[in-house]
Every structure is written in C-alpha cells, then in structure tokens.
A and B are shown apart, each in its own frame.
Chain A
Amino acid sequence: MYDFAYHKASSVADAAAKAKGNDDAKFMAGGQTLIPTLKQRLARPSDVIDLAAIADLKSIAAGGGAVTLGAMATHASVAASADVKKAIPALAALAEGIGDPQVRNRGTVGGSVANNDPAADYPAAVLGLGATIHTDQRQIAADDFFLSVFTTALNPGELITRISFPVPEKAAYVKFPSPASRYAMIGVFVAKTAKGARVVVTGAGNGVIRIKSMEAALDKAWSAASLDGIAVSASACNGDIHGSSEYRAHLISVMAKRAVAAAG
C-alpha cells in the first residue's frame, strides 16, 4: 500500500472541509472495499478522511413511510434492526447477505452506495425502492444516482449523509452468488411500490439496471407467472470466466421470478 495522510473527521462539515480543494483525498466509511483497493495499489489517495467518528451518520430510523439509514450504518446494524425488519424486511435481509459477518460489522451502506460496485447488493435496493440519497449538498433520486461502473452522480468531495427508502407494499431481493467470491453473479430486487412495480438487477453489467419490460408485466399482475416469456437480451450482460452473458441473462429471469415469489 502506498502511504497517505490519515485524518479523522469530527463532523460532516469537518470532513467536507478536509476534502475541499483536494481531488486526491478519499473519504473512508467502513473501509471494507477501500482498504483492499489500496492494498492492491489500485488507488493512490494523498489523504484518507475517516468518517467513523461522526456519530450522527450511524442512525437507523423508520417512520413517515420510510426507512432512513445514516451513511455509516453498518450492514450488521441494518440486518439486526427491529425497525428495518418490520418496515422493509427485504432491506434487512439484503444487508444480512452481504459479504461475511466480519465485513458486515465494518462495511456501511453509504460506502457501498458511493462505491457503486457493479456486483454490489445495496445499489439494487436503493434503485429498487426508488430511494433518495441525501448528501451534504443536495438530495439525489436513485434513478439519477448510479451512472456506470464505480461511477455515481456524486461530485468530488460530496458526501452521502443518509439514504431514505420509501416503504413498499412488498419487496424481496434474491441473488445467485458466485460460488467462489460470493458476489452476486446476478441479484434481482423487486418491489411493489405506490408508484408501480420496480425490478432492478445487479451483477449484470455496468451497474444496476431497471428491467422495464418486467415492471410493466408486474404492474398488470403481480405474480411470478407474469414474468413468463420475458427474456432479457444477453447484450445487456457481461460474460466472464464465471458465466457467459447468455447465462447471466437467463439468471435474471430466474432470479426475478424467485424474488416476486419471495415477496408474496
């Protein structure tokens, strides 16, 4: 790992001030992706600004028709939250399925969403529930947030503070993990919301995508059978040594049906 200057931010304003004017500074949330990235010398920040001491970023709250997760809420704390389990059980279950227990004890929702790994779980819930990303500068709708692989609408130095997930009528997340890495080969988040059905896929290609043809079918009738015969083009999917693009496209249909069935 290249060396860097380590800073502990005491507040959101302090973190923003420390990052201001320094494009080579990097925020660190739980560090479960950033530290492995640094170890592989895939990134060379001049400064790492640790957000862990900012207590008010760790809150988890349900109410007003939404679940709001502070950016520094760990996966373990979301998975164990009675409020989240009651309001959006699919969100708690998704958090419970990320990585392993030790990663879940440190990794955070804000870090996962800001990183936008193309096989990450959380972006599927953020887009699948039509969540709102609150930053220290503005609010961003999920539909406008995820741009491409590891790329989001966040400006340099902009910090996620919390993410607000509207409570759906029903929702579920089902993934097919790679047998080796356990990352999602394909994960599908489905939700029946006040604004219609949403079907979001992670792991397919350049980040999370909505499958509008499946959403339209579920708007007509919410059942797994409604998805019969709706194929996703293999050209929308990556192929690699773990599976061809045709295999991933097929998995989308299978996982989407399982998710609708699981949502009930």
Chain B
Amino acid sequence: MPQVSMTVNGRPIKADVEGRTLLVQLLREKLGLTGTHVGCDTSQCGACVVHVDGKSAKSCTLLAAQLDGANITTIEGLAGADGKLHPMQEAFRDNHGLQCGFCTPGMVMSAVDLAKTNPNASEHEIREWLEGNICRCTGYHNIVKSIQAGAAAMQAAK
C-alpha cells in the first residue's frame, strides 16, 4: 500500500492509501475534513473542488497517490487561524450566495482560484468559470454577485 506525504491546510500529513483511493476519500475519511463534499462523483458538479499547489482541481477525480508531496488547501484551510473568514467566504455570506449550501465549499474554492487568476473577471467570465460548479438552488445570480464582491475584497486586502 503506497504511503503518501502531503501538506494539507499547512499541516504535513502522512497516510497509507490504496492505489484507487481518491483525494476526496483521503480528505474526508482519513483526515476528517468533511467540508469538501462529494456531489455527483463524476467530476461534473464541483462540490469537491480543492486547491492542489494553488490551482483548483476536483478531488473526486484525483488519486491520493498522485499527490505525494503536493500542497492541498481545502475549504477548512481558507479562514484565518483566529477563525476570521476569508474575504470570499464573507462575500458569500453577505450576498446570500447559497441556499442549501451543499455546493458552497466547491464554489468558494473555485472562486478563490478565479480571483487569483483573473482578479478583474467580468460577470461573463465568472459565469464561464463556473462551468464546472453546479448549484441546484440559487440560479447562480447571488453566487456571481458574491464572487464579484469577494474578488474585490481580495484585491483590497492586498
């Protein structure tokens, strides 16, 4: 059974995994980080989005063994050590960017990657970027507003 070492939310971890163990299984089942959700399990819905070496990826479509040595950030790793929410999380709260909340961890992780890649994304670019994140409650309008506000807050905090 391969052993993997990686950094998760700034903390070094080691785990024994099977070849077939998915990153999301390692995060949820072995590390107890259940903020990352499994929605469709077919790499379409984006509820499982995390950052791998700073870039968003679907943790249901990555093998844990692939990520030996990688730096992983999950939704639990966004807020400050003092519990202060990340500006993107604040923006989702302020703009009512969620209803049931199931897709939200993936939405926020995807949005943070967008704000880093393209800080001044237009509404159209935000909607295009959300191709891989499915929400069945909101109709996306407030999610887009949240991401606009969150990206602006991230810029302002620089």
Enumerate chain A residues within 8 angstroms of B90, measured Cβ to Cβ. Answer: none
Q: Which of A28, A48, A52, A106 contacts B57 (CB 8 A)?
A: A106
- Which of A1, A2, A32, A76 has a CB less than 8 Å from the CB of B43? A32
Question: CA A31 – CA B22 in complex, angstroms?
Answer: 12
Contact B2–A6 (Cβ < 8 Å): yes
CA A38 to CA B58, docked complex, whole Å: 16
CB pair B56–A102 under 8 Å, yes or no, is yes
Residues in A neighbouring B129, C-beta threshold 8 A:
101
Residues in A whose Cβ lies below 8 Å from that of B110: 101-102
A: number of interface residues (CB 8 Å): 26
Q: A101 and B56: CB pair below 8 A?
A: yes
* Interface residue from A5, A100, A106, A182 paired with B19 (Cβ < 8 Å): A5
Q: B19 — nearest CB in chain A belongs to which residue?
A: A6
| Main secondary structure on B side of the interface with A | mixed
- The 0/1 profile, CB within 8 Å of B marked 1, for residues 9-45 of chain A is 0000000000000000000100110011011000000
Contact partners of A240 in chain B: CB under 8 A = none
A106 CA to B132 CA in the complex, in Å? 13
**Separation of A5 and B66 alpha carbons in the complex (Å):** 12
Distance between Cα atoms of A38 and B20 in the complex (Å):
9
Task: Give the complex CA separation of A31 and B42 in angstroms.
Answer: 12
Task: Tell me the minimal C-beta distance from B22 to chain A in angstroms.
Answer: 8
Residue of B nearest to A4 (CB): B19
Interchain CA distance A36-B62 in the complex, whole Å: 10
Indicate whether B145 reaches chain A with its CB closer than 8 angstroms: no
Contacts of B65 in A (CB 8 A): 6, 8, 50
A54 within 8 A of B: no
Contact size range, B: 20 to 34
Residue of A nearest to B67 (CB): A52
Q: Is the CB of B66 within 8 A of A102?
A: no
Point out the residues of chain A lying under 8 angstroms from B20, CB to CB. Answer: 1-4, 38
A103 and B58 form a contact (CB under 8 A): yes
Interface residues of B in 105-156 (CB under 8 A from A): 110, 113-114, 129, 131-133
Any B CB within 8 A of the CB of A99? yes
Taking a contact as CB atoms under 8 Å apart, the answer to whether B56 and A6 are in contact is no
> Is B61 among interface residues, defined by CB-CB distance under 8 A?
yes
Is the CB–CB distance between A106 and B62 below 8 Å? yes
Judged by a CB distance under 8 angstroms, whether A244 is at the interface is: no
B121 to chain A, nearest CB (A): 11
Chain A residues closer than 8 Å to B114, beta-carbon distance: 101
The distance in angstroms between the C-alpha atoms of A244 and B41, with both chains bound, is 29
Q: Which residues of B contact A28 (CB under 8 A)?
A: 66
Residue numbers in B under 8 Å from A152 (CB-CB)? none
CB atoms of A32 and B61 under 8 A apart: yes
Contacts of B2 in A (CB 8 A): 6
- Interface membership of chain A positions 37-80, coded 1 if the CB is closer than 8 angstroms to chain B and 0 otherwise: 01100000000101010000000000000000000000010000
CA distance A38 to B16 in the complex (A): 21
Q: How far is the CA of A3 from the CA of B17 in the complex (A)?
A: 11
* Distance (whole angstroms) from the CB of B63 to the closest CB of chain A: 7
Check A105 against B62 for contact (C-beta < 8 Å).
Answer: no
* Complex Cα spacing A35 to B52, Å: 17
Contact B66 A31 (CB under 8 A): yes
A-to-B contact residues, CB < 8 Å: 1-6, 8, 28, 31-32, 35-36, 38-39, 48, 50, 52, 76, 99-103, 105-106, 182
14 sample A-B contacts, Cβ–Cβ < 8 Å, listed by A number: A6-B2, A31-B66, A35-B43, A35-B61, A35-B63, A50-B66, A52-B66, A100-B46, A101-B56, A101-B113, A102-B49, A102-B110, A103-B58, A105-B52
